[in-house]
Amino acid sequence: MAVKTILTEPNQLLRQVSKPVNKVGKEEQQLMDDMLETMYSATGIGLAAIQIGIPKRIIVMDISKEEGKKEPRYFVNPVIKNKDPLKATYEEGCLSVPDQFAEIDRPSKCEVEYLDYHGNKKLVKADGLLATCIQHEMDHLEGILFIDYLSKLKRSMIIKKLSKLKLNTAVL
Ligand code: NI
């Protein structure tokens, strides 16, 4: 396993649409291991492959709240089958949009079909934080960031801030 560099906005790669995975093999499992380690080391609760520059439809997640207890989840080729018309609001952040947070409305429940770590077809009925997190991560697969739901003004302010931060930061 290895910790990879997480891309941050603005970066054109983050805007790319990720490609479906043909088969969950060793290479994909290695990628999921690396993604999980990268996510844990950045203390995030979700990460899409494109955030480390790999345009594959793969997501890792761990929303367990208990300290020291790991509950990794893996989603390959996730597809939303059903969305609840009722919305839920969460304050969202993103490892690719460092230190920025905003309240975002999303369907409060969703059903998602996907392949697991071993390539087995699964269906999850998600609500609460899990539903929000899956939808946030699935947006990454379409090149969408949570700041895209904000007003143009708010979004451009955030991107300006992040660009400035990049200029002044030497990552050594
Ligand atoms: Ni994100």
Domain chopping of the chain, boundaries: 12-171
Pairing of strands 121-127, 97-107: unpaired
- By C-alpha distance, which of 116, 90, 102, 91 is closest to 154? 102
* pLDDT value of residue 168: 75
- Beta pairing partners, 61: 46, 73
Alpha carbon of 35 to ligand 1 centroid (Å): 13
Ligand 1 center from residue 32 Cα (angstroms): 16
Q: Please identify every residue whose CB atom is under 5 Å from ligand 1, which is an ion.
A: 94
- Residue 172: its pLDDT value, please? 64
d(CA 22, CA 9): 28
* Catalytically annotated residues: 137
Q: How close is the Cα of 146 to the center of ligand 1, in Å? A: 7
Q: What is the pTM of this model?
A: 0.94
Neighbours of 66 (CB within 10 A): 7
Query: Can you point out the beta strands (E) in the chain?
Result: 46-48, 58-61, 73-83, 87-94, 97-107, 109-115, 121-127
Tell which CATH classification among 3.90.45.10, 3.40.50.720, 3.20.20.140, 3.90.1150.10 matches the domain 12-171.
3.90.45.10
Distance (Å) from CA 95 to ligand 1 centroid = 6
- Sign for the pseudo-dihedral over CA of 6, 10, 12, 18: positive
Query: Token pair of 90, please?
Result: 């969460």
Q: Are 74 and 62 in contact (CB under 8 A)?
A: no
Q: Are strands 121-127 and 109-115 parallel, antiparallel or unpaired?
A: antiparallel
pLDDT tens over the chain, length 172 residues: 799 999 999 999 999 999 999 999 999 999 999 999 999 999 999 999 999 999 999 999 999 988 778 999 999 999 999 999 999 999 999 999 999 999 999 999 999 999 999 999 999 999 999 999 999 999 999 999 999 999 999 999 999 999 988 877 666 6
Distance CA 90, CA 133 (A): 10
Q: How far is the CA of 1 from the centre of ligand 1 (A)?
A: 21
